[in-house]
Amino acid sequence: MRAVIQRVKKSSVTVEDKLVGNIGAGLLILLGVTGSDTEKDAAYLADKISNLRIFSDSNDKMNLSLQDVQGEALVVSQFTLYGDCRKGRRPSYGDAARPEQANDLYEFFCNHLGKIVPVETGRFQAMMEVELINDGPVTLIVES
């Protein structure tokens, strides 16, 4: 399981001109699932992300976690995180999980993270428009 996380001042997701997810300060999490991922991977990643010390403290040092700052998370499923661009000019998505498995693990991840911090989501398998205002910017890749 792979996540690209971005520290944001705010972020939102729109599907067919309808707002489906919206957060204030926190993390935008782009989540990719591969065929070998399990619920253990999803729980690990949710715990890891919620505890990463990537928010500034009163001394402007990155010492606080999403939990510490009482931030929110916007989770967007993104199978393209497993696009392999090493050969040719068209990415191969052979490592991405099948939609049924990916959706189950995406929902498990969101539910697990939602027990820790407030969570909003995009819509699985939809064409989404994601807006964000980066904070920093701080962007990290986290894998299980």
Give the catalytic positions in this structure: 78-80
Cα 19 to the center of its chain, rounded Å: 18
Amino acid at 38: T
> E-assigned strands of the chain?
2-15, 18-23, 26-32, 55-56, 62-64, 72-77, 119-121, 129-143
Residue 80 is classified by DSSP as G
Asked whether the CA dihedral 136, 125, 48, 13 is positive or negative, the reply is: positive
